[in-house]
Chains A and B, each alone.
Chain A
Amino acid sequence: MELYKLTAHELKDKLTTKEVSAVEVAEAIYTRIDAVEDKVQAFISLTKENALAQARRVDEKLKANEELPALAGIPGALKDNICVEGTKTTCGSQILANFVPPYNATVTEKLNAQQTVLVGKANMDEFAMGSSTENSSFKVSRNPWDTDTVPGGSSGGSAAAVAAGQAVWALGSDTGGSIRLPAAYCGVVGLKPTYGRVSRYGLVAYASSLDQIGPITRDVTDCALVMNAIAGYDHRDSTSINAPVPDYTQALVPDIRGMKIGLPKEYFVAGMDPDVEKAVYAAIEQLKALGAEYKEVSMPHTEYALATYYMVATAEASSNLARYVGVGFGQREKGEDLISMATQTRTQGFGAEVRRRIMLGNYALSSGYYDAYYLKALKVRTLIKRDFDKAFEDVDVLVAPIAPTTAFKIGEKINDPLAMYLQDVCTVPVNLAGVPAISLPCGFKGHMPIGLQIIGKPLGESDVLKAAYTFEQNNDYYKRLAPLGGA
């Protein structure tokens, strides 16, 4: 049995029965990384020493028959925009190439309390801006199903690592689809929680009103386990929801009889790959056959979501990224005076996509354009949210595609920003509305996975997990492993 192929819950059983040790598991993961990382390029940095030390501590506790949390000793990866005290956190950007945070993100603290083993920091589009992970300052990650294609983004390193067996689980962040899109492209499970369900403290901000940390795992059960570990109120995040966290594993029941599912027809946009559309409709048929009550719903403002998203997200980003001027932290370029130093630092430190979004955001906020762009977008955001509120009066979850296509070729869209943005057309409405949504495999086009999106009500993660679990257990997509092939 190759340990890297196992899920967290399978490994937990083996650790508990002492069939394997945490050190053996960690070493198996690093062996796998050594074997495939050249092809996958999932990591920006590895933290092997700390990981093995942590695994040894877990083993000591196992030896003493201590009861351990579900993820104790289970190796995982963090997207490199999540702060780990004393460990380089680059956000995929040259400008933070040597940034070592003096503090932990709240999720990092929670995972440390779980005694998880942190394998390394995963590659990402610079500052989480992108849909392919091609915008990383350091490397282009590859899709383990076809290494000539992108893993999706921006949490491409996290999804690729999980799909390739280089991490059992990973955390990503999702601002406009950045967990769900790579999860779909890489054939794994990714959940964007309700805005405010997981603390953002220590997540390097892209767009504050949209960002949310969530799990990327190999199956829905692991997704629930990671959610149990990271969800909950945090007094350090003013936008954190102060509501009890259910045990998400309670939702892992393969039975959706009586659950009302809706299909928003507007999600089947022009340019949608017919095979993707077919797979999503087939999934809905299957859920109906399993006892779900089906209803077609209308969400008329869906087509405006992407434009809204690009105004809101870039406006917030332009301000969030203003701090990278080479003064208190980060890379500094030489300059005669302060302004030229800051300008040089930013011009050389940021990649093209980040610069483009900063420009767009500053334009949307600048005097004379604020009302026409930013304020207009905030108003349309209200209408988009109302679409969801209305839909959820009739249904428990919405089912939709994740992206119009399967993973595309590396380089294919890099020179056409708008075409790249269009990959997010089915995922951004969810962030604008702040609701939870999962991506899980629902078929293949050729050898490439297709993602199914299940969207829930605010704090409706349990409904989402239940529907996803039922679908997963009635199919075997989750049992397939990425072949790591390519040209």
Chain B
Amino acid sequence: MKITRKDVETVAFLSRLAMDEAEMDKFTGQLNAILEYVDMLNKVDTEGVEPTDHILNLKNVMRADEAKPSLARELALKNAPEQEDGYFKVPKILEG
């Protein structure tokens, strides 16, 4: 077992996903199968190999500091599930 049910619970919270017992079992099984497959990477010797996080050798892509017109507020809020007084509205936030 690569990933335990406890791990799956933790990752579900990090992912903001809920699941019932049956789904938890199913996900645990499926993720284990995938991770066992992925474990083949351990066979590769990567000693001294630099990671590739960008495939292109680009650097220093920047824009000049110029203010451009913003979106009209109605458009900015158009896709909001809920709004009030020109604000996006969200349910109450419980601090930990």
Contacts and interface: CB of A to CB of B under 8 A. Distances in A.
Physical contact A–B (CB less than 8 Å): yes
Interface of A: 98-100, 102, 195-196, 209, 235, 238-239, 241, 301, 303-304, 306-308, 310-311, 318, 322, 325-332, 335-344, 346-347, 350, 355-356, 358-360, 362-363, 366, 373, 375-383, 385, 417-418, 421, 432-434
Contacts of A318: 15
A337 B38 contact: no
Contact of A378 (B3, B27, B53): B53
B51 A355 contact: no
B56 A434 contact: yes
A337 B92 contact: yes
B14 interface: yes
Contacts of A99: 79
Given A358-B17, A382-B52, A100 B38 contact: no
A318 B10 CA distance: 14
A90 to B, nearest CB: 12
Contact of A380 (B41, B58, B81): B41
Contact of B11 (A98, A347, A363, A379): A363
B22 interface: no
A318 B12 CA distance: 11
Query: Which A-B residue pairs are the 8 nearest by beta carbons?
Result: A378-B51, A434-B55, A332-B81, A329-B79, A379-B46, A238-B61, A102-B75, A307-B38
Interface in B66-96: 71, 75-76, 78-82, 88, 90-94
Contacts of B90: 327, 338, 341
Given A341-B90, A355-B17, A310 B34 contact: yes
A303 B40 contact: yes
Contacts of A378: 51-53
B65 interface: no
Contacts of B43: 304
B55 to A, nearest CB: 3
B7 A363 contact: yes
* Interface of chain A, main secondary structure: helix
15 contacts: A100-B79, A209-B54, A327-B81, A328-B88, A329-B80, A329-B81, A330-B81, A339-B16, A341-B91, A346-B15, A358-B17, A366-B11, A376-B44, A383-B46, A433-B55
B34 A382 contact: no
Contact of A382 (B49, B78, B80): B49
Given A327-B81, A355-B15, 13 more contacts: A196-B58, A239-B58, A301-B44, A303-B40, A311-B41, A338-B90, A338-B92, A343-B17, A356-B31, A362-B15, A363-B11, A366-B10, A433-B55
B58 A238 contact: yes
For chain B, which range describes its interface: under 10, 10 to 19, 20 to 34, or 35 or more residues?
35 or more
A363 B91 contact: no
Contact of A379 (B33, B51, B92): B51
B46 A376 contact: yes
B49 A379 contact: yes
B44 A337 contact: no
A362 B19 CA distance: 16
A417 B30 contact: yes
A347 B88 contact: no
A213 B48 CA distance: 34
Contacts of B75: 102
Contacts of B44: 301, 304, 376, 379-380, 383
Interface in B13-35: 14-19, 27, 30-31, 33-35
A137 B3 CA distance: 28
A98 B81 CA distance: 10
B88 to A, nearest CB: 6
A331 B81 contact: yes
A367 to B, nearest CB: 10
A375 B15 contact: no
A373 B15 CA distance: 17
B63 interface: yes
Given A329-B79, A355-B17, A308 B30 contact: no
Contacts of B79: 98-100, 102, 328-330
Nearest to B74: A102
B34 A417 contact: yes
A347 B19 contact: yes
Given A102-B75, A307-B37, A377-B41, A359 B15 contact: yes
Given A338-B92, A359-B31, A195 B56 contact: yes
Given A209-B55, A304-B40, A381-B51, A366 B14 contact: yes
B78 A100 contact: yes
B81 A363 contact: no
B80 to A, nearest CB: 6
Q: Which of A102, A350, A363 has the most CB of B within 10 A?
A: A363
B46 A239 contact: no
Contact of A327 (B39, B56, B88): B88
Given A209-B55, A308-B41, A339-B94, A332 B82 contact: yes
A284 B54 CA distance: 32
Given A343-B18, A363-B7, A383-B44, A373 B93 contact: no
B61 to A, nearest CB: 4
A100 to B, nearest CB: 7
A338 B15 contact: no
Contacts of A330: 79, 81
